[in-house]
Every structure is written in C-alpha cells, then in structure tokens.
A and B are shown apart, each in its own frame.
Chain A
Amino acid sequence: MKQRQVEAPLSPVPGLHNKLRGGHKLKQLAKIAACGSAVSMLSIMGASLSTGTASAIALHPEGYLQAAAAAPPIVLPQPAAGSHYTIAYIPGCTCDPYFATETAGFLAAAKQVGISTIVQGPADFNPTQQTTVLEAVVQKHPSAIVINPTNLTAMVAPINAAIAAGIPVMTTGNFVDTTKIFTAVAADSYVGGEVAAKALEKWIPNGGQVVYMDINPGVTSLSEHEQGFDKIMRANKKFTILPTLYANENSATQAADIIEGEITAHPKLAGVFASNVITAEGVANGIVGMSEAGKIKVVGYDASTQEVAALQNHSLTGLISQSPYTLGYMDIANSIKYLNGNHNLPKMQLLQPILIDLANLNQPNIQKAIYHATPY
C-alpha cells in the first residue's frame, strides 16, 4: 500500500498539541513577516489578533489564500568556507509524485549552493525496506541525512543508530518519535483540513451535505485532515457532515466505486474532501462517471499532475498542496545551517498547505506547488 503517513508528533498532554501549533504558528508567521509583503502583513495581523489557533483563518479566507500564494522562496545559506558537504535524502518511497517533487526541489537547491547529494529510496512505503536503504546510506558517510520516515516508531532505532554513527538526521513530511533529530519540516496536516473546509464553504455558499474520504482509521495525518475539516464544518450550521468513507485499499478504483455509491445514496451531496493523491484521483473519476463534474465540489489533498488535469475538467474543484518542492529546499537549507554550526534549529517547522484552484492555478508560485513527477 503506497501511502504517505504524515503523523502527529507525540505530546504527553492532550491539548498540548494545539498549543504547540500555536507557538509554531507564531514563529512561522514571524518568518513570513520578515519578508515584508504588504498583503501578508495584513493577514498576519489579522491572524495574530486571534488566540493563536487556526480559527484565525475563518476571519480572512481570501487574505489567507493570497498570503499562502505569495509566500516567498526559501533563502539558502552558503556552506561554510572550505567545506564539502554531502547531504542524503531518503524519501518514504520512490512510488509517489510527492516524493519525486521533493527530490526535484532538493536537487535544485543543492545545485544552487554547490553541494553533493545522495538520493536513495525504498520501492514501497514500508519501514523494513526503508531501514535497508538508511543503513546502506549510512555506510556512505554523508554529512547529513534527510529522511521521510515511513513509521513513527519503527524508524526510531535505525535513525538513532545513524545519529550514533555520527551522522545528523532531520525528518521531512512525516515525524518520528525521537528527540535526537536536529529538526523536522512538514506541511501542516491539521491546517490542511481546515483549508479544505474553508474552500468548500466558499464554493458552496448555501451549505449542504459534505463527506470526507479517508483511507485507514489509523493514519494520523489523514485523521488530522479530518479533525481540521470537522472543526470548521461543525461550526457552520449550513453544513451536514456525512459519516466518513474509507478507501482502505488505497486504490483509485475503490475510491471511485465508493464515491459513486455515496452519490447514489445521497443525491444532494454537495462537497467531498479526499485525503490523498490516490483517493483524490479516484473520486475525480467517480465524479465524472456520475456526470457530476462541476456540480459537486471536491477538494483533493496533494497536487499531482493528474489531479491538476481533473481540476481543469472540473471533476476536482481544489487541491491542497504540501509544497514538496519547497520542502526540498528547506531540507537543504536546514542541513547546511546545522552543518555550519547552528544546532538550535526549531524542533518543528510547519508549512502552510496551499489551496490550488482554477483561479490561481497559473500563478508562478502556485505552479511551483504542483507535484511535477520528475525522474530521479
């Protein structure tokens, strides 16, 4: 089963999770503020007026979307003089355009500052294969390793072993349950759910029935989408949330079948939120099959080129990108910072997910957020 599991960091106290988000939100907003865009200043002020939770977005949906679109590119630090860094990137698998896109960003950033790279990934998204790759890469003694861990717990031992062998490690995308990594970058799954909800609110002004298509009940990133989505939708009395659907085989065909069944059972279905590339592509097919393209509004997570095509034929109405290309840049940037001597990087650096629709599809920053599957 190919799926990306973006998993929550462990917090010993329930609710601390949200507080952590608030804290990091402030740091992130501070970063954006430092770049000085007027529009973003407005939305930031709007956001910082809030209690620091994601409900800030409710106040300025338009402003938020524009702010995300205008997010400036990552500034890459120069490697220390006389250094020869080799940075390795280990994706969750070589099976998904998300990882191919992050690799592209990773390689482009490395080229820009002139450092060597190693890119090796397992064929399937599973920790057994990824451990083999990680251990082999460790044998090559890179200066640092960036890894998208396939399992919160299973990858702890191999990652700790790499660190013990003298190689600093950071994570991207998914989290791993160890404090020894020097930083973790990812797109914010909870906010992603909220963004999806806000988008459906905008496109279905009169309200109606909506549903979320998940894969497995236990995948935390997908559950976070659902939590963010639920939070916004429940607050809006115009919407009814139907019971969550599960496409547990992570297959587009199954997702298509399920959504067709749902539309038959609920002819008034107005909106769908699909949890990842596969379900989004499947739902798009199902929508076309039921001739509902354009009528039912669908937000799909991730932004593969196939999903973009669905956007253009109205079987998807919006995509939520996790900006893997930008994450690739952040991988290089943070690795260089650490190797240059900055050992006080933030524990977690979360990106705002970006909503892509037909209105902003052709903006250059938005184009960068699309997952162009690039060969390795």
Chain B
Amino acid sequence: MAGGQVVTTTRTGGALVHEPPAAPTPGREPGTRAKVLRQLTRNWVLLVLVALIVTFWSISGSEFFSVPDFRDILYNASESGVLAAGMTLVIIGGQIDLSVGSVLVFSSVIAAKVIVAIEGTGTTFHHPDVALTVGLLTAVVVGTAWGALNGVLVVALKIPSFIVTLGTLGMAIGLSDVITSGADIAGLSPTLQTAIGARQVLGVPLLVIITAAIMVVAGIVLARTCFGRYTYAIGSNAEAARRAGIKVGRHVVVLFTIMGLLAGVAGAMDIARFTTTSVIAHGADNLIAIAAVVIGGASLFGGSGTMFRTAIGVLIPAVLTTGLIIANVQSFWQEVIIGAILICAVAIDNVKRSSETKAG
C-alpha cells in the first residue's frame, strides 16, 4: 500500500478531502444586523442589566430612574470597579487573588499614616496638598509592592495563587491591625474629600471617572495588545504559551503586580472618600471583585472574559442593591433576591454561550 485513498473535491483552489460543509467560508463579513445580534447574544448579561433597570424603573419610577440615583450607584461601585478590573486580568490569566481587600486596607493605612505625618492632626493642617499627594501615591506604591510579592511567590515557589493570596490576605490585614492597634486612623484633612473624594467633574464624580478610565485602558490592553493576548493564552494553556516563547513566569508576576497596584489605587480612593481608614469594612471585597468577573461570564479557569462584561458584573449587584432598597424590599429578602438573580444571570449567559458553541 503506497498511499491512502484520497477523495478530492476541488473547491476554492485546494485539493481537499470531502467533508460536510461547515459555517461561512473565511473572509466573508457578516452584515450589520447579524453583527449586532452576535454582540448581544455574546453579552447576554448586558440584557440582564437592562432588564433590571427597566424593572426597577417600573416599580419605583423616578425615585430609582434619576441622575442623582445613577450617580450614587456608580460612585458607590467605583472602588469595586477598580478591584474588578485588576481581577479580570488575573482571572483571565488563570490565577486568582484573594488578598485585594486586605491590600486595599493596608495601602490606605500606610497612606493615612503618611498623610498624618506630613500634615499633623487636629484643626490646623500643614501642607495638606503635599500630604495628600504623597499619601495617595504611597498607597499605590504599597499596593504594587504587595502585588509583586504575590506574583513572585506564585511563580518562584510554584504555590497555587489561591493559597499564596490567602496567606497575604491574612498578613496584610494583620499588619494593618498591628499598625493601627485596631483603631481606624481618622482626622485627615478635609482637603482629601474636596480635592478628590467628593469632587465632581461636569457632574460626574471624579472617582467614577478614574474607575472608568482604568477599565477602558485595561480593556484596550486586554483586547488589542500582545500583553492582553498573552494573558488569555496563559490562562487558556500555559504550556502552549510557554512553547510559543512567551515568558509565562514574568507575565504572571506582572499580572499580580498590576492587581496590587489597582488595590492600592482603591485604597487611595477609600481614604479620599471617607477621610478615614475602615479596617473592618473590606473583608468581602475579594469576593465582590471575583463575583463581578464571573457574573460577566469569565471562566474561573482562565482564558476567557472581557473588561466590558466585568463592568456589567460590577453594575448588576450595585443596581440590585440600590433598586431593592428603593423598592422598599425588606433587608433580609434583599440578600435572597440578589443571590437568586446572580445565579440566574450566570445561568442564562452560560446557556446562551454553550448553544452558540454547538451551533459552531
């Protein structure tokens, strides 16, 4: 037997084996209507969000559907948004970071200490602008350092990120308690709020603008740059990425460092908003960020997800919480409803995307 039997059917320039026809030949662009439908079915969670907004509008009218209310929702979600942006990168890359709330707290504690050291306490403050700038930058630097530590431990010691970040979660909050002796650092100058925390630009809170900017930049990097693509590749199949010549270890360290940096930014936003640290208030921040990424449809195993969907994943619980309060739903029932809707949202999204897979 010198060779296999090959049945050839000549098609567009190639000698091929006869196979059942598949989807459109490569190169033909789908029409606009098909494109929009495709985007919608991909981003089913967006429809869930719209449905929620419409529902609350019909229940509560302009108490819910008003500019001040939407502004409040976005403002209250700004820190979660920043954390979720970093978590998106980490999870797409096949990792997880549980330490984000603790790093946020630690960054805010160090920043508050620095601010107090520069400007003093009491009723007169020395150089509050300098104190504010140095303090907030310190928060970012401190967060970045924790992130880098997470990354190095995961890569160099080859310990799963769940365990490493569980450890740094404890260490960071513990150190915060040690430094503050459990007492929040308050009495920071009001300049912090007037200059940043409560500031609005054209009616939009500055913190919301910062969060949006971070999400847009991170989203573009994810979707359009080699760095983003390598993140998807590493999350999808780290070995394949390695064989393709991608420096996987270094990339993972960078992912965690970015996450730490963003946790530091969130810590800066926190003290700018409240002019005090809140050591006990961020224990669940990690879950909120992870939930946002997962609600958005990313796989916890890595390799998929987009920043746009994470943004929706941040907004759905935020809209739900505020909407239910305004709708006068009893507090305890709120938690039941939010949990149920989250499950539904993800289930619908899953069904949609797996049916899309089957259709090929």
- Interface of A with B (CB < 8 Å)? 1, 12, 94, 118-121, 123-129, 131-133, 135-137, 139-141, 151-154, 156-157, 216-219, 248, 375-376
Contacts and interface: CB of A to CB of B under 8 A. Distances in A.
Main secondary structure of the interface of B (DSSP, over half): helix
Interface string B268-291: 000001111010111110000000
Contacts of A125: 280
Contacts of A248: 177, 182
B63 A126 contact: no
Nearest to A128: B281
Given A157-B197, A376-B332, A128 B278 contact: yes
A120 B276 contact: no
Contact of B331 (A1, A123, A156): A123
A120 B330 CA distance: 7
Nearest to B325: A136
Nearest to B76: A132
B278 A154 contact: yes
Contacts of A157: 193, 197-198, 273-275
21 contacts: A1-B283, A123-B335, A127-B274, A128-B76, A128-B278, A132-B76, A132-B321, A132-B322, A133-B325, A139-B64, A139-B72, A140-B326, A152-B186, A153-B187, A153-B275, A154-B275, A156-B275, A157-B193, A157-B273, A217-B181, A219-B183
5 nearest A-B residue pairs (beta carbon): A218-B183, A126-B281, A216-B182, A154-B274, A136-B325
Contacts of A219: 182-183
A217 B182 contact: yes
Nearest to A133: B325
B8 interface: no
B63 A141 contact: yes
Given A120-B331, A140-B63, A217-B182, 13 more contacts: A123-B331, A128-B76, A132-B72, A132-B325, A135-B76, A139-B63, A151-B278, A152-B276, A154-B275, A157-B193, A157-B197, A375-B332, A376-B332
The size bracket of the interface on B is 35 or more
Contacts of B184: 151, 153, 218
B328 interface: yes
Interface in B172-231: 177, 180-184, 186-187, 193, 197-198
Nearest to A248: B182
A250 to B, nearest CB: 9
B86 to A, nearest CB: 18
A118 B66 contact: no
A127 B278 contact: yes
A119 to B, nearest CB: 8
Contacts of B180: 218
